[in-house]
Structures are given as structure tokens and as C-alpha cells.
Amino acid sequence: MIDCNSMENNQLTALIFDLTKKIKRSKILDAPEDLLVYEYDTSIDRALPDIVILPTTVEEVSHAVTVAAQYDIPVIPRGSGTGFAGGALPVKGGILIVLTAMNKIREIDAENRLAIVEPGVINLHLHEALEPYNLIYAPDPSSQRICTIGGNVGTNSGGPHTLAYGSTVNHILGMEVVLPGGRIVWLGGRQLDTPGMDLRGVFVGSEGTLGIVTAICVSLIPVNETVRTMLAIFDSIDAASSAVSAVIRSGVIPMAMEMMDQETIKVVEPRVRAGYPIDAGAVLLIEVEGLSEVVEHNSAVVVKACNELGAREVRIAESSLERESLWEGRKSAIGALGQTAPAIYLLDGVVPRTKLPEILNKVLLASHKAGFKCANMFHAGDGNLHPTVLFDPLESGATDRVLELGGEIMKLCVDAGGSITGEHGIGLEKRSYMEWVFTESDLAAMEKIRFSFDPVGNFNPCKILPTGHGCAQGHMQITDQQFSIPGVYV
């Protein structure tokens, strides 16, 4: 096998020549200054590809995969590069296939409530295209303005409305994929529950390790008659966390239930002016939808539950503008935090709702002991935590300490009966944590599935599973010689 991190010029020239037989040279990047742009996503690690390809058709993707197989080199799919787990990093070099130019909405079938989109379609752009039809595509990650549908499929993304609607896998009917070797196939179809094994479900969340998704058939739902957005203000994060379980216990399942702590509020409010009280210990952003009578009843139940748990105030958005402002604050939180420190490390774990107060306190204590500030904004309704550690990668030893803290926080989630990811995926970041959640036989079964699609192991190598020839455990070993400034920049 060619060592892609040190491909000789003649090998690279031959590879490019074969690629250009069906792909325009302008769609192939190999200049060092171009490759540098693709050496990172929003995780801590970095790795350079040997070649970047910007295809616009499934045939070009198939050709690139076929040529890569002939040269026995890795293939890594990439969307907008907004992943937090290093899932799109070419850690063994090879061909990085960037799918952002495949960004057409091929079809909107309003009558059958489905759409067919290419993987590079931005999540928000699909939502905007559906407005005239009074339909929505339910998954809406916080990075909705920039993340792609293909990337959402790769990591089975969630978002604020996961609580009521489920994650990406619940809204994918079928997909066109390019398999290792270059064959183009459709998995699933245009309706629910197609006959046979659910390979569609297997592919969602597989992070490009089984094949490359080149078209996606998504299911759509009607816009609800009434939407009511509420902001519950608490003096402590414990009270806000307890209110989450109280609301669910009352029999109401909100469409969304988001939490931000004081550290996040202090950063977001001066920048966005969303209306969050700076002195609040935490706020809950709660949204209920449905028929007017149902929304009226459920809103009253939510307000009562929050008040009983000590809410200082529960505000109800009086206009669409006020509602949009409240959501703008939540969805801008990561970017706002990124402006306050040289780097941030955003984590993704899941805990049972009832354990939120206990685990949040342990997360803050662990961060304090490690010497870092930690802000929290997360999908509280389904217990999906996103502790965000602020640090300076130029400080000696800071990156190592941050990674150690990240592992400690993930272990807290697992020990509480939770998981190591809710929506960011496993990628490179958390592959060494998989043994905390799965048995040896579980992992062996996953390895067999992966082998059945890609027996050579060249599709997005060193991701998800803790095994892999030539792959480091978990994060790569970051050194000053590799990266001038290791860290996450937002």
C-alpha cells in the first residue's frame, strides 16, 4: 500500500492523471496551500490529505473511488467540515472527497411529503425551500446554517427538536451511495419500511466508513398550526435541570427543551441581544407545537412545572420576531463562545434526564480542577450535553489537559448510564471510548459489518471502531512539529 502521507511526486502525478480521465483538473486540488484548508474540521486534531476532489456528479464520485481502489489508498468523504469528532480528517492521507458542490435539491414531492437532495445541500437551505409548501424537514442541528444534509446523515445528527421528532435516521427514507470499488446503489426508497434488511439505517451514522452518500430521500412533515416558545429563567442550573424532568413527568413532551448556563448567557446576550437575563443561573428555552387548544393546555402545564421548581419567571414570546431572537441566541452560542477564547473544545455526551443536576455539577467540578472555564448549552430534553471547555492551545500542556478532561467527562456520562455521543458521532475523537459502552462481541459484530462493505479498510480509516491497522487510539498525537497552533477555532 502507498504511504499516502509521503506519496512521491511520480505516484501523485500518475494518480491525478487517472483521475482526470473523468474528472476535470480544476476539480482536483493538490497544491499545498489548497490542501491546508482541508487539514482540519472543528475538532482538535489535524491531518493533511494528499488530494482533494470537488465532484458535482455521482459518476465523478464513483470514478474517484474506483481509482483510489486501484491505487489502494484511503478515501474520506467531507461536507462543510463542521464535525466536532474528527470524522472528516484524512489521518492516513489519501483522497478527500468534498461533497459541498453537490448541492442541488433534485425534487420536492409535497403530495407524498418527501424530497430528494444531494449531500452538499445546507440544512437551512432545505428548510427555506420547503416554506412555500408548508412543510419542514424536522432535524435542525444548531449548526443548521452551515452543516450539510450529507454530514447530518454521516453522524446521525440531532438538534433542538430531537426530543419530539427523533434524530436524522428517523427522517431518511433512502439514499444513493457509492460503495468501495465504485458501484452505485440505492438503499431504501421513497417510502417507509422497504422490504429486506435495513441497510439505510446501517448507513446513517456510519461516518463514511461503509460508502459515500450521493443523494438522500428525506421525509417531510407539515408545519404545525401553532407554535409557542417560552423562556424559563432560573437562579441555578440545578433548578433548571430539575425542571426538565418535571416538565416531562407532567405528561407534556415539548418539541424542544434547550438549556444554557450563566457562563454561556454572559457571552451570548451582549452579542445577540436575545433577551436572556445576564444574572440568571440558567435558562430553559422550551417550545410546544400543535393545535391551538393543545398548545394552550401544554403551555400552561410547562409554566406550572417550571414555577414549581423555582423559576424566577417564564416569558412567552409574543411575536415571531421575539421567537426568532430567542432561537438566534441559542444557535449562536458556539460561535459566541469561540470569540471569547483562543480555542474551545466542545464535547458531546448523553445522560438520563434525572441525572442532569448531578452530572452537570461533576462536569463543572472536573473543569475547575483541570484549570479551565466550562460553559454549558445543550439539548436538555433528551439529556444531550455539550460542555464547552475554553482554553489557550499555546499554553504549555493545555491541549493534553483538555483532552484528558474530555475523557473524564465522557466517563462521567457513561457511568451515569448514558452514552459517549448524542449527535456528533464517534469519529477519531472517541473511538478509544467505544469499549466503555460496547462489549468485545458487540465491537466484533460492527467490525464484521464494516468488513463486509470495505474489506480493505480504506474508507475513512481509523474512525469509530477502536481497532484498525496503523491507527492511533483516540486522538492523534499532536506535536508542535505537526501543527503550529493545535486547537479548535470557531
Exposed/middle/buried for residue 145 (C-beta within 10 Å: 0-12, 13-18, 19+): middle
Q: Is the pLDDT of residue 477 over 70?
A: no
Residue 115's alpha-carbon distances to 127, 288, 396, in angstroms, are: 11, 26, 50
pLDDT in tens, 32-69: 999 999 998 999 899 999 999 999 999 999 999 999 99
* C-beta separation of 120 from 99 below 8 A: yes
The per-residue pLDDT for 94 is 96
Domain ranges of the chain: 4-100, 105-222, 226-335, 341-490
Residue type at position 322: E
pLDDT, tens digit, 9 for 90 and up, residues 104-154? 999 999 999 999 999 999 999 999 999 999 999 999 998 999 999 999 999
Over range 271-283, report the average pLDDT. Answer: 94
pLDDT of residue 4: 45
Contacts of 330 (CB under 8 A, 6+ apart): 142, 160, 258, 260, 274, 285, 377
394 vs 256: CA distance, rounded Å? 38
4-100 against 105-222: fold identical: no
**3 has a pLDDT exceeding 80:** no
CATH fold of 4-100 reads: 3.30.43
Query: How confident is the model at residue 484, as a pLDDT?
Result: 33
Does 385 have pLDDT greater than 70? yes
pLDDT band at 17 (very low <50, low <70, confident <90, very high): very high
What is the second-level CATH architecture of the domain 226-335? Answer: 2-Layer Sandwich (3.30)
pLDDT(416) > 90: yes
Dihedral in degrees, nearest 10, Cα atoms 453, 471, 366, 240: -20
pLDDT for 9 equals 83
User: How far is 206 from 419, CA to CA, in rounded Å?
Assistant: 17
Residue 476: the pLDDT is: 58
3-state SS string for 70-81:
HHCCCEEEECCC
Of 215, 382, 241, the C-alpha closest to 310 is: 241
For the 341-490 domain, the top CATH level (class) is alpha beta
pLDDT of residue 469: 61
Q: What would the pLDDT profile of 74-111 be if each residue is shown by its tens digit?
A: 999 999 999 999 999 999 999 999 999 999 999 999 99
The model's pLDDT over 225-263, given as tens digits with 9 standing for 90+, comes to: 999 999 999 999 999 999 999 999 999 999 999 999 999
105-222 to CATH, choices 3.40.50.800, 3.40.50.1100, 3.30.465.10, 3.40.50.12160: 3.30.465.10
Report the percentage of the chain scoring pLDDT > 70.
Answer: 94
pTM confidence score? 0.91
State the angle between helix axes of 320-331 and 262-272 in degrees (0 to 180), rounded to the nearest 10.
Answer: 120
How many Å apart are CA 45 and CA 386, to the nearest integer? 19
User: Number of C-alpha atoms within 13 angstroms, CB side, residue 195?
Assistant: 0
**Nearest-angstrom CA–CA distance, 78 and 91:** 13
Lookup: cell for 319: 411575536
Provide the 8-state DSSP code for 353. Answer: G
Backbone angles phi, psi at 307, to 5 degrees: -65, -40
pLDDT-above-90 percentage for the chain? 88
Q: What mean pLDDT value characterizes the chain?
A: 92
C-alpha closest to that of 385 among 259, 242, 230: 259
